Amino acid sequence: MSRTLGLGTLRLGAVGTALLLPLTAACGGSGDGAGNGGGSGAASGSTRLTVLAAASLTDAFRTAGAAYEKSHPGTRLTFSFAGSQELVAQVSQGSPADVLVTADTTSMDKVKGDTGTPSVIARNRLVIATGEGNPLKIDALKDLADGRVKVVLAAPEVPAGKYSKQILDRQRLTVKPVSQEPNVRAVLSKVELGEADAGLVYRTDAESAADKVDAVDIPDTQNAVARYPAATLKDSRHAEAAAAFVAWLSSPEAQKILREAGFQQP
């Protein structure tokens, strides 16, 4: 008797489980979408774009990305920030991505066979970043040539490094950096941490750390203009969505975000 009851119980349990399975499956989808902005189906119904962007765009693009996703709920953005030379190497090696934004046109030109037609979305200029309060009272490029000043620069192959060399050479200044960094954010970090007295960074980088460093302006006649081109990648699996994001970067909404971050108009 107990054996018969056991089988019946098992059958009823199986039926109950079968009835519950569709309900469980129906609830499972919302869990996946919760980490991607919430709504049901957000993960499965979204187009995911990978954007390779110059390190100096880090703060501005994080803000811009959030704004873009809000106004384009069907698109999710993943950013990879690094020195432009590193990004170009990734593209040349076939790393999967959809959009490339560099800090100079020269880097973009190196992969012109892999991109659509680039458009310049912003400009930037260099400043001298010093420790908070500018303890050594650095007020001009010539002060960086003082051997007692520990200066850090971006490496020559990095756009910020090329611009730095350009403006120092024009002033016929010889500066011996204590280190040469792989991207401009690494230069900023050295100054923030007190490992260097001064460094040449973009104005936007100095503004992002205004509570930790001081920025000494460089006159326009002695400065260099950094231009930021953006382009779709030909191997993108989401060509239409990638083109839409690149076009949006020139829109009033995106330009306002870039201006607020300290970037200049294209």
pLDDT tens digits along 181-227: 999 999 999 999 999 999 999 999 999 999 999 999 999 999 999 99
- Helices marked H in the chain: 2-33, 58-71, 84-92, 105-109, 159-170, 184-192, 203-208, 239-248, 252-260
Q: Which domains does the chain have, with CATH numbers?
A: 47-123+226-260 (3.40.190.10), 124-225 (3.40.190.10)
The pTM (predicted TM-score) of the whole model is 0.79
Element (H, E) at 263: none
Cα gap 127→179, rounded to integer Å: 18
**pLDDT top residue among 14 and 132:** 132
**pLDDT top residue among 121 and 25:** 121
**pLDDT top residue among 37 and 142:** 142
Q: What is the DSSP letter of 171?
A: T
